[in-house]
Amino acid sequence: MHRRTFLSSCAAVGLAGLPSKTHTAAQEDSTRFPKPAPLPFREEKSGLKITSIRAVRLVPERPLPKYQPTPGYWNTTEVEIANPLSIYPRFKPRRSLFYADDLGPLEVMVETNKGITGFGFGGPGAALVVERHLPKMLVGEDPFDVERLWDIMWRGTLYYGRKGVAVHAISAVDNALWDIVGKALNTPVHKLLGGGHKERVPCYCTGNNIEQAVEFGFKKLKLAIPHGPADGEEGLTKNEQLVKRARELLGSDGEVMLDCWMAFTESYTIELAARLEPYRVYWMEECLMPDDYAGMGHVNAKIKSTLMATGEHEYTRYGFELLSDYKAADIWQPDMHWCGGLSELRWIDALARSKNIPVIPHGGWRGGSAHFVLANDNTPWCEMFLPPPGGPQEVYQHFEEEQQITRGPEGIYMRPPDRPGFGFELKLS
């Protein structure tokens, strides 16, 4: 598919001539940012009241056997993947040398006065804000008022938040509210979002266990690039060999993408893109550190052989507005657990639509995100990780059942559960 084909598919004046300042912040946002579609439950009063908000640890209701993955499995902290700290020899060999220790649960449970409970997923470090701040603002409120409650959490955490941990916490609670609404209305979230246009979504597999993914049936692969600028010419050659192997196993009809995880410089990105042009890479993702908007804009303007994608580590509509202003990427990849939750993801998508930019969420298959992916006609693909290789067959059978995996012309397809809310089958640890 041609890169541009993909994109195409998818002041008042007051008294005496002085400027008027009678507009409100809400009015300013409503004109500055395109609005998402109206919510079908927006005007309803549910009779529900939030009684508690807690950070919790959740486990599957149906436990699966534990196993040791095949040696060399890519998605461990012991395998080298290019990263922002790869420039420092002390941290370069493996991510476990700098990854944080336990920052608390990523999951949130919101309880109501009528016994309806919602689960939501957030990002690293969310637990502190969830436990120590957000209940003060939300307990006693109607969980159906998702947009107003999001705004309260956002404004209430601005003095220390705006990005990172605070928005991870907002994301978790917001997602849990959507779970409550779906359960209360006995409706899956994808239908609350107006879904119904798509029966299933084509998927791509992220990871460097290429043979496992191809054998499973994937025709779209995203590779985690292992080497960055610190590895010089040798690293460039090894990166090329990885891409070459993926192209050979996929054949000419498959799609190859690259996850560069904030590890490159502008010059390295341009050099690698030129070197890989014969392999028809579909997109290069998150090549630069996420605050380097100008650099991303320069790279996107310079490289014509592949699309540029980013947004995994971007936050809220205001961050994505900067990506737009700098023309930093052709594809946006917000993470529903990190960017502000489902409520904010709808605003990000509305902005993307106004710019003719597809939204392909990071982690699109996990933690409820697939409901947005299915419902949203501006989201053509879903990201997916396979369970690590080397496990018992039961693990892969359960994965196929839970993700409702089917196969077709584009390889692997999925759809989220049709159970109410996000349809989680989870319990407290």
Which positions are catalytic? 362
Residue 259 to residue 262: CA distance in whole angstroms: 9
Residue 162, phi then psi, degrees to nearest 5: 80, -35
Residue 370 to residue 402: CA distance in whole angstroms: 12
Asked if residues 334 and 348 have their Cβ atoms less than 8 Å apart, the reply is yes
Residues 6+ apart with CB under 8 A from 293: 322, 323, 325, 326, 328
Cα→Cα distances 412→16, 312, 368, Å: 65, 23, 19
Q: Report which of 388, 386, 385 is spatially closest to residue 69, judged by C-alpha positions.
A: 388
What is the DSSP code string of 307-344?
Answer: EEEE-TT--HHHHHHHHHHTT--SEE---TTTSSHHHH
DSSP 19: B
Tokens of 304: 């014509």
At 149, is the secondary structure helix, strand, or coil? Answer: helix
If you count DSSP H runs as helices and E runs as strands, how many of each does the chain have, helices first?
A: 15, 14
Place of tokens 């007051």: 14
Q: How far is CA 139 from the centre of its chain?
A: 28
Residue 320, phi then psi, degrees to nearest 5: -70, -25
